C-alpha cells in the first residue's frame, strides 16, 4: 500500500513533525487542526464559532489539495477545553455538514497546543473527478 503526503499553502504549516494530511487506501487522514490563521500562524481571535469556522476552512484547503471536500468527510473528532462550547460548536457543524454529516466524537481535554480552545482531526474519502467539481 502506498501513502502520499498532502500539503496546502492555504492551511497552516504544521507546528511539529507531522504532515497536514496523508492519503492512503482512498482516504485522506487530516492531522489535528487548531484555529490558526494560515497566513500568520497565529490563533484567530473570537468565540468557538469563529474558531470552528477557521478550522473547517483549513480542512477545506487541505482536502482540496488532496482532491476532496468536506462533503466526503467520514469521521470528525473534536477536542474542546470546555464542553460548555458544545452547543455553539454544533451550530457551526450543522451549517457546514448539512447533508450526511460524518461520524463524530467530541471530548473535553485539559489543554491544547498554543492554548487553543478547540482542535479537530478528520478522515475523508478521496473524491472522484466528478465530485471535485461539485464540492
Summarised one tens digit per residue, pLDDT across range 30-46 is 999 999 999 999 999 99
The reply to whether 134 falls in a domain is: no
The reply to whether 68 falls in a domain is: yes
The reply to whether 34 falls in a domain is: yes
* Count of domains for the chain: 1
Q: Which has the closest alpha carbon to 79: 56, 111, 53?
A: 111
Per-residue confidence (pLDDT) for residue 131, from 0 to 100: 47
Per-residue confidence (pLDDT) for residue 64, from 0 to 100: 97
The reply to whether 35 falls in a domain is: yes
The reply to whether 36 falls in a domain is: yes
The reply to whether 133 falls in a domain is: no
Q: CATH number of the domain that 112 lies in?
A: 3.30.1330.40
Residue 43, CB half-sphere, CA atoms under 13 Å: how many?
Answer: 15
Please state, in angstroms and rounded to a whole number, the distance separating the CA atoms of residues 57 and 63.
10
Residue numbers of the domain that contains 119 = 3-126
The reply to whether 132 falls in a domain is: no
pTM for the whole structure:
0.92
Per-residue confidence (pLDDT) for residue 31, from 0 to 100: 98
- Report residue 1's pLDDT band, with 50, 70 and 90 as the boundaries: confident
Given a contact cutoff of 8 angstroms between Cβ atoms, the answer to whether 68 and 134 are in contact is: no
* β strands within the chain, DSSP E: 3-6, 21-24, 27-33, 73-80, 103-108, 118-125
Residue 54, sorted as left (phi over 0), alpha (psi -120 to 50) or beta, turns out to be: alpha
pLDDT at 128 over 90: no
The reply to whether 135 falls in a domain is: no
pLDDT digits (tens, 9 = 90+) for 42-62: 999 999 999 999 999 999 999
Amino acid at each position: 500500500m502506498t501513502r502520499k503526503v498532502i500539503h496546502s499553502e492555504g492551511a497552516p504549516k504544521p507546528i511539529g513533525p507531522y504532515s497536514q494530511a496523508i492519503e492512503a487506501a482512498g482516504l485522506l487522514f487530516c492531522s489535528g487542526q487548531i484555529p490558526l490563521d494560515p497566513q500568520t500562524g497565529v490563533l484567530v481571535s473570537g468565540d468557538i464559532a469563529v474558531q470552528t469556522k477557521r478550522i473547517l476552512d483549513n480542512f477545506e484547503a487541505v482536502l482540496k489539495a488532496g482532491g476532496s471536500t468536506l462533503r466526503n468527510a467520514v469521521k470528525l473528532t473534536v477536542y474542546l477545553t470546555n464542553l460548555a462550547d458544545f452547543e455553539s460548536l454544533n451550530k457551526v457543524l450543522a451549517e457546514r455538514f448539512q447533508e450526511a454529516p460524518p461520524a463524530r466524537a467530541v471530548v473535553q481535554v485539559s489543554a491544547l497546543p498554543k492554548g487553543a480552545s478547540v482542535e479537530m482531526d478528520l478522515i475523508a474519502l478521496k473524491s472522484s473527478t466528478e465530485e471535485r467539481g461539485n464540492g
